[in-house]
Amino acid sequence: MRRALIVPAAGKGTRLGAGVPKWRTPVAGRPMIDYVLDRHRPHCAAVILVVSPESREEAERYLAARSIDGQVAVQTAATGMLDAILLGRDLALASSPDRVWITWCDQIAISAASAARLATLDSVANAPAVVMPTVRQSPPYIHFDRNADGRLAGVRQRREGDAMPETGESDAGLFSLSADAVERLLPDFAASVAVGAGTGERNFLPFLVWAAARTRVETFTIDPVEAAGINTRDDLARFERHVASKDPDR
- How confident is the model at residue 201, as a pLDDT? 81
- How confident is the model at residue 99, as a pLDDT? 98
8 Å CB contact between 176 and 128: no
The 10s digit of each residue's pLDDT in 168-209 is: 999 999 999 999 999 999 999 999 888 877 777 899 999 999
With a CB cutoff of 8 Å and minimum separation 6, the contacts of 181 are 100, 129, 130, 211, 215
Domain boundaries in the chain?
3-245
Residues comprising the chain, all counted: 250
With a CB cutoff of 8 Å and minimum separation 6, the contacts of 153 are 144, 145, 146, 147, 209, 212
pLDDT tens, the chain, 250 aa long: 999 999 999 887 666 766 788 898 888 889 999 999 999 999 999 999 999 999 999 999 999 998 888 999 999 988 889 999 999 999 999 999 999 999 999 999 999 999 999 999 999 999 999 999 999 999 999 999 999 999 999 999 998 899 999 999 999 999 999 999 999 999 999 998 888 777 778 999 999 999 999 999 999 999 999 988 777 778 778 778 766 666 545 5
Residues 85, 95, 20: CA angle, nearest 5 degrees: 45
The 10s digit of each residue's pLDDT in 84-101 is: 999 999 999 999 999 999
Fold of the 3-245 domain: Spore Coat Polysaccharide Biosynthesis Protein SpsA; Chain A (3.90.550)
- How confident is the model at residue 37, as a pLDDT? 96
* Overall pTM > 0.85: yes
